[in-house]
């Protein structure tokens, strides 16, 4: 059984109508503001038993009644409303917020959040969970040497990608492709292409390895004097 | 609907992967979120040293246990991680350095570390290639080095085989709290519901802590490294300067790795990784001084990395009391890689039953808020990043160079 609430607005209505008495159904809850208003204007509180016929009391602000549907109530409500625009808003002047109203309100809030986020809340967001599933498909040219300095095959590179490496730097650390004397000057483009193919990206999306000196092998003695 | 996860590990470096692997072995299903590729930051640019010598004594139990785990890591991960346990040689070129080294050797022997002080002759027996400047050094035979990429990749692959999901190229935007407890993690692509977050974000560890309303006295420090072409095997030890100015090794591949630090005075903070043209030459000069035989070897690449440097150069490990459900595993201050396997195990034990087999209370987050260890522990070296005004050792060191 839903509680019956009495809000300040309803009390105000009664005061505006010039009544000095307010009917409060048994078990109804007065809002703090409503209680203040009643005190201020010294209204008499008349307690009515719950479910009592309300049609006889035109000024009764809160109807317990059999009303499960607040919308129906509002249309037959005897209290004159101050403006027709009010009818679009959720009805609180009836003194009762039904389960349906609350649900409708909650749905509207959820819809709005969804709109703001631009996607369904209950669907997982897309993610690049590449590192957990091996997606390597064997092919004939897996024995082909890609990094000539370190003799690293295409298969080894595909293996590293399948294990979750998604950058040239990552592949390099695991396989040594690009760690040799030429520092990837020969194989970096090839490795980039394999990476792009395996991940389904375009070549432009593949980040190059960190560019660092020396550009060519440099003797320790020469570097020390630079 | 937000996805539920037993834990969200932020950071897919060696720490995040090791923690994920250990949790997976216990039957948990954490997810790992990594901003770039697996091992894309410090785990993919460090020197791979696995050492106990020259560590803070508080870290020593962790380091010693880590050596044990590294010994059988190739079996556990089913792959060769190029682990070599052939010692760590720290070289001195002046009487003053020798004296400091003697003290630190004595100090570290007290916790049972096998560490000896060597004179020039003894150093030559271990490594016949050292230059004339070297007067002596310390040697710890149980130290060694490893291929950092392969260790990270090994932990990652093993965790993945156990069903752990890794989300790479995804950035954490928010750590959600409910009644000041961890309740979820929001990334730029999705939302996870969880009551456990592990901050294993390395240099971004402070940023992640900030998301939960916590803060760390951490800052990024720039470090540079270079690699040479391959050369026939010369020596197997990790070698380095007494004060850590440079360090290096010959990799399993044959190339020589050399890394080095710069002082904060030269560090200009910029977006991304800054480039200093003079560090490579500086490292080269030192390498030639210490190992003249290498002077005609070609350098093929230089790179840089960022170190998550804490004010006291110790990591932050364990739960944050202020935010239940938030676990720290960050701030390793440039010497974390050698600890990775043990950290993975300890953080897992902490999460499972709050009882790590090695106490980690020295590394708790509370040490900062309660005004504990704020004294700078450095011996006045370039790696120390405490503000010069605060660190007397560093002031002295700067005067001496």
Contact in structure between B241 and B247 (CB atoms under 8 Å): yes
In chain B, residues with a C-beta closer than 8 Å to the C-beta of A161 are none
% of chain A surpassing 70 pLDDT:
67
Nearest chain A residue to B275, by CA: A212
Indicate if B290 and B154 belong to the same structural domain.
no
In chain A, residues with a C-beta closer than 8 Å to the C-beta of B297 are 219-220
Indicate if B164 and B294 belong to the same structural domain.
no
State whether A125 and B36 contact (CB < 8 Å). Answer: no
Regarding predicted confidence, which is higher, B261 or A74? B261
Indicate if B279 and B347 belong to the same structural domain.
no
Indicate if B38 and B166 belong to the same structural domain.
yes
CA distances from A211 to A86, A188, B270, B284, B289 (A): 68, 12, 17, 20, 28
Q: Count other C-beta atoms under 10 Å from residue B136's C-beta.
A: 22
- Position B70 in a domain: no
Indicate if B114 and B258 belong to the same structural domain.
yes
Indicate if B228 and B261 belong to the same structural domain.
yes
CA distances from B21 to B6, B83, B92, B345, B390 (A): 13, 19, 40, 9, 40
Q: What percent helix, strand, coil does chain B show, rounded to 5? A: 35, 25, 40
Model pLDDT, residue B17: 96
Distance spanning both ends of chain A, measured CA to CA: 87
State whether B160 and A124 contact (CB < 8 Å). Answer: no
Rounded distance between C-alpha atoms, residue A157 and residue A195, angstroms:
8
Mean pLDDT of B90-118: 91
Q: Does B246 touch chain A (CB under 8 A)?
A: no
Indicate if B320 and B303 belong to the same structural domain.
no
Q: What's the CA angle centered on A220, arms B84 and A180, to 5 degrees?
A: 60
- Position B57 in a domain: no
| Ramachandran angles phi, psi of A145, nearest 5° | -80, 125
- Report how many domains make up chain B: 2
Contacts of B37 (CB under 8 A, 6+ apart): A164, A165, A166, A167, A169, A170, A173, B12, B44, B168, B169
- Position B348 in a domain: yes
Q: Count other C-beta atoms under 10 Å from residue B296's C-beta.
A: 11
CATH number at residue B122: 3.30.9.10
Model pLDDT, residue B10: 96
Indicate if B223 and B305 belong to the same structural domain.
yes
* Residue range(s) defining the domain that contains residue B271: 85-143+219-309
State whether B297 and A219 contact (CB < 8 Å). Answer: yes
Q: Does B301 touch chain A (CB under 8 A)?
A: yes
In chain B, residues with a C-beta closer than 8 Å to the C-beta of A170 are 36-40, 44
Tokens 């962790």 found at: B62
ipTM > 0.85 (yes/no): no
Give the pLDDT confidence of B367-387 residue by residue, as tens digits: 876 544 444 555 555 555 444
- Position B392 in a domain: no
Min Cα separation A223/chain B (Å): 5
Model pLDDT, residue A101: 82
| Cα torsion through B168, B170, B174, B176, rounded to 10 | -50
In chain A, residues with a C-beta closer than 8 Å to the C-beta of B40 are 167, 169-170
Give the pLDDT confidence of B138-149 residue by residue, as tens digits: 999 999 999 999
Is residue A157's pLDDT more than 90? yes
Residue whose C-alpha is closest to residue B170's, from B184, B155, B156, B190: B190
Query: Which domains are present in chain A?
Result: 5-117 (no CATH), 130-224 (1.10.10.1100)
Where does the pLDDT of residue B134 fall: very low under 50, low under 70, confident under 90, or very high at 90 and above?
Answer: very high
Strand-pairing partners, residue B191, are: B186
Model pLDDT, residue B348: 93
Q: Tell me the pLDDT of chain B averaged across its residues.
A: 86
Is residue A116's pLDDT more than 90? no
Indicate if B132 and B224 belong to the same structural domain.
yes
Indicate if B249 and B294 belong to the same structural domain.
yes
Indicate if B206 and B327 belong to the same structural domain.
yes
- Strand (E) positions, A58-205? 145-147, 152-153
Residue whose C-alpha is closest to residue B61's, from B112, B116, B6: B112
Q: Does B178 touch chain A (CB under 8 A)?
A: no
Indicate if B128 and B228 belong to the same structural domain.
yes
Of the three residues B309, B334, B359, the one that is the final residue of a domain is: B309
- Position B91 in a domain: yes
Of the three residues B283, B309, B335, the one that is the final residue of a domain is: B309
Model pLDDT, residue B355: 83
């Amino acid at each position: 059984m839903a509680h019956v609430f009495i809000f300040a607005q309803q009390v105000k209505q009664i005061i505006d109508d010039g009544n000095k008495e307010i009917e409060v159904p048994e078990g109804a809850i007065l809002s703090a503001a409503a209680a203040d208003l009643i005190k201020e204007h010294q209204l008499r509180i008349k307690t009515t038993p719950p479910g009592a016929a309300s049609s006889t009391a035109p000024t009764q602000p809160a109807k317990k009644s059999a009303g499960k549907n607040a919308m129906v109530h509002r249309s037959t409500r005897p209290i004159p409303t101050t403006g027709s625009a009010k009818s679009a808003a959720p009805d609180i002047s009836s003194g009762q917020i039904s389960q349906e109203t609350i649900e409708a309100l909650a749905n509207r809030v959820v819809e709005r959040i969804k709109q703001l986020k631009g996607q369904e809340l209950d669907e997982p967001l897309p993610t690049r969970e590449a590192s957990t599933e091996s997606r390597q498909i064997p092919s004939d040219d897996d024995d082909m040497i890609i990094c000539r300095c370190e003799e690293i095959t295409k298969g080894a590179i595909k293996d590293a990608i399948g294990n979750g490496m998604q950058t040239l730097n990552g592949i390099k650390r695991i396989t040594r492709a690009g760690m040799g004397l030429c520092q990837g000057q020969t194989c970096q483009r090839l490795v980039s292409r394999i990476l792009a193919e395996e991940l389904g990206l375009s070549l432009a999306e593949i980040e190059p390895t960190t560019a660092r000196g020396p550009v060519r092998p440099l003797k320790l003695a020469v570097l020390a004097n630079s | 609907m937000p996805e539920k996860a037993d834990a969200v590990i932020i950071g897919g470096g060696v720490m995040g992967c090791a923690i994920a692997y250990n949790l997976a072995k216990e039957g948990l299903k954490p997810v790992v979120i990594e901003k770039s590729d697996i091992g894309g930051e410090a785990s993919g640019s460090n020197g791979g040293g696995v050492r106990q010598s020259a560590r803070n004594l508080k870290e020593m139990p962790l380091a010693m246990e880590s050596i044990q785990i590294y010994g059988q890591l190739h079996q556990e991960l089913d792959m060769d991680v190029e682990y070599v346990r052939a010692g760590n040689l720290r070289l001195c070129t002046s009487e003053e350095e020798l004296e400091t080294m003697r003290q630190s050797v004595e100090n570290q022997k007290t916790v049972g570390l096998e560490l000896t002080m060597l004179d020039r002759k003894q150093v030559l027996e271990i490594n016949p290639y050292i230059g004339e400047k070297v007067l002596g050094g310390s040697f710890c035979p149980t130290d060694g080095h490893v291929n950092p990429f392969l260790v990270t990749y090994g932990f990652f692959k093993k965790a993945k085989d156990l069903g752990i999901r890794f989300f790479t190229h995804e950035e954490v935007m928010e750590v959600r709290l409910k009644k000041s407890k961890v309740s979820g993690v929001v990334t730029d692509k999705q939302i996870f519901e969880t009551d456990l977050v592990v901050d294993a974000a390395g240099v971004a560890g402070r940023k992640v802590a900030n998301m939960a309303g916590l803060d760390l006295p951490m800052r990024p420090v720039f470090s540079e490294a270079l690699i040479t072409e391959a050369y026939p095997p010369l020596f197997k030890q990790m070698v380095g300067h007494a004060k850590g100015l440079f360090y290096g090794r010959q990799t399993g591949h044959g190339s020589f790795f050399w890394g080095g630090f710069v002082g904060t005075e030269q560090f200009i903070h910029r977006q991304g990784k800054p480039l200093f043209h003079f560090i490579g030459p500086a490292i080269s000069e030192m390498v030639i001084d210490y190992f003249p035989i290498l002077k005609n070897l070609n350098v093929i690449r230089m790179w840089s990395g960022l170190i998550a440097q804490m004010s006291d150069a110790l990591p932050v490990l364990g739960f944050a009391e202020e935010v239940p459900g938030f676990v720290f595993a960050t701030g390793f201050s440039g010497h974390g890689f050698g600890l990775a396997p043990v950290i993975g195990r300890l953080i897992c034990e902490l999460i499972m039953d709050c009882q790590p087999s090695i106490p980690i209370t020295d590394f708790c987050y509370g040490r900062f808020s309660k005004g504990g260890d704020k004294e700078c522990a450095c011996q006045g070296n370039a790696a120390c990043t405490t503000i010069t005004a605060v660190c007397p050792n560093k002031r002295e060191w700067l005067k001496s160079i």
